[in-house]
Structure 1
């Protein structure tokens, strides 16, 4: 698959940044149109940048301004700072370093923090977790998980295949969750059983209550798992005496922007069930129960720290 040339990608990002800065003049708009008309590749890059901007609608370009310690006056300074953040996201993607084009062309996808239920024409039920993308081809009885996590319920006997980067999972009269990770794919079976094929064609059977990691080297050993790990299907994130650091890494998947915490908080323990529709409230609840402080530079840049003791 061809990718946009780096110089064209950077130019598209800069034009986008200019428009997002609020400083664009009529001449700037005319210049953008002329640039788009100069070459088909320019128009293609611009359309990709627009798609990406829609995808990151929850992460405004003003984040850059709020995160700077020394604001500079004047139109040129505002534009310069807007370029800093607005170019960061589009250019990275357009250069193909972070998010592949097929994610944006996916039949179904969710934004960060979004979850979606999709009834399929064959009676199966598909759910997408945060920041996920799936292609659907019921003619071939196949789904392709491009990114993120899905839950699939197949009530009938006709098998439905989930294709991943590390192999495939075949389900019939079963319920399964598949999560694509950086170096593998986590397969969790809730009901029935599924057949798992690795990249070498070796097959294994996973039954209800079993979970295993599918990697380039094959399927790892299966373990029993707690179904509460998959509470995202009901909009819930549950912890049972879990390390706070692990909990926050999971929570961060559902929040646009940056979530950081002091290293001293890593090994604190957290127990509870939290509704995912309001992650700010989750942070407030953690702060009150674990004696933490939430420092929010903006909603998109949050740091947790130990609560300071009063003198």
Structure 2
């Protein structure tokens, strides 16, 4: 899949701004007419508008503080109206979509998960698909193909079936195997839990990845294979596990599952973390870190959190 174009991002931004204006309660009749004209001017505008509203409904329970914590001081005029409007449900298309850079294609994927959500789907012929946080997959059962649009999946395929996982960096052919596929900005990580899979890179070169191995598909081809870290399986059971892991690496993984903004002082990066943490309550995870490490949690809101060194570390 290709990255969303600049034009697609601008259309998404415009849809978010129109929705924010309407939700603010300050839209005039002229504004409503302008929105209708914009929607009618191109099919992509109408599609973006419909998807923006679906996202708004999906995240309607998010509190106003999620948006307000990230806003500047109020400014006069139309710009201030749009900023204040982001404090309501329209925060999702604007702040979430634009700041998290979620591809437009993820909006219309057959299966998708929000930040912090995980999903298990039973496919035909006994195949089991699991989606991790902020992930999206298109399903073409006629071609026995899953397209990983964004994020991470785990796939268990029985002996009588074969499925193809298409990524931006190549293909993974799965038959009688358990495999995890995580798509990153720099490549795609293929981890084999059981059995063996065939991977094909963008140059058309095939390689076999055995159980216990992990391969990296890159734009330049297949990277070096390494041993598979079984701790990566924890997300399927809602657990994030660390074994003497640098805190910076742990937090970068944790923020995938936490809506809003999580920041930390660079001085905390080298601290070490060991333990298993339930992903269903990321606030509790932060509290546990603060109780065992020399750091403190500063919360502007539940959705805007900064970790700072405690006096002992400072």
Normalised-by-shorter TM-score class: 0.7 to 0.9
Note the alpha carbon deviations across 1:70-118, whole angstroms, 9 max, x for none.
568x997962532577689549969xx9333321111100000000000
1:192 and 2:195 are equivalent in the alignment: yes
Residue in 1 that maps onto 2:161: 158
Residue in 2 that maps onto 1:222: 225
Residue in 2 that maps onto 1:127: 130
Residue in 1 that maps onto 2:177: 174
Q: What is the Cα deviation at residue 241 of structure 1?
A: 0.2
Pick aligned residue for 2:110 from 107, 122, 131: 107
Residue in 1 that maps onto 2:274: 271
Residue in 2 that maps onto 1:24: 26
Residue in 1 that maps onto 2:295: 292
User: What residue ranges of structure 1 are gaps of 5+ in the alignment?
Assistant: none
Distance 1:275 1:291 in 2: 21
Range moving further from structure 2, 180-189 or 55-64: 55-64
Tell me if the contact between 2:18 and 2:35 (Cα under 8 Å) persists in the aligned partners.
Answer: no
Distance 2:191 2:10 in 1: 43
SS in 2 for 1:172: strand
Q: What is the Cα deviation at residue 28 of structure 1?
A: 7.5
Change (3 A) 1:284 1:104: same
Q: What is the Cα deviation at residue 66 of structure 1?
A: 3.3
Q: CA RMSD in A?
A: 3.2
Pick aligned residue for 1:49 from 31, 49, 52: 52
Pick aligned residue for 2:238 from 213, 235, 243: 235
Pick aligned residue for 2:248 from 245, 249, 262: 245
Distance 1:37 1:194 in 2: 45
Range moving further from structure 2, 1-10 or 30-39: 1-10
Range moving further from structure 2, 131-140 or 7-16: 7-16
Range moving further from structure 2, 258-267 or 49-58: 49-58
Q: What is the Cα deviation at residue 221 of structure 1?
A: 1.6
Q: What is the Cα deviation at residue 122 of structure 1?
A: 1.4
TM-score, L = length of structure 1: 0.86
Change (3 A) 1:151 1:8: closer
Residue in 2 that maps onto 1:82: 84
Q: What is the Cα deviation at residue 163 of structure 1?
A: 0.6
Distance 1:181 1:53 in 2: 26
Distance 1:90 1:40 in 2: 20
SS in 1 for 2:138: strand
Tell me if the contact between 1:189 and 1:211 (Cα under 8 Å) persists in the aligned partners.
Answer: yes
Residue in 2 that maps onto 1:139: 142
Tell me if the contact between 1:10 and 1:87 (Cα under 8 Å) persists in the aligned partners.
Answer: no
Q: What is the Cα deviation at residue 47 of structure 1?
A: 1.6
Range moving further from structure 2, 61-70 or 253-262: 61-70
Range moving further from structure 2, 52-61 or 282-291: 52-61
SS in 1 for 2:22: helix
Work out the number of aligned pairs and report it. 305
SS in 2 for 1:308: coil
Range moving further from structure 2, 158-167 or 239-248: 158-167
1:213 and 2:203 are equivalent in the alignment: no
Tell me if the contact between 1:20 and 1:82 (Cα under 8 Å) persists in the aligned partners.
Answer: no
Q: What is the Cα deviation at residue 18 of structure 1?
A: 2.0
Residue in 1 that maps onto 2:286: 283
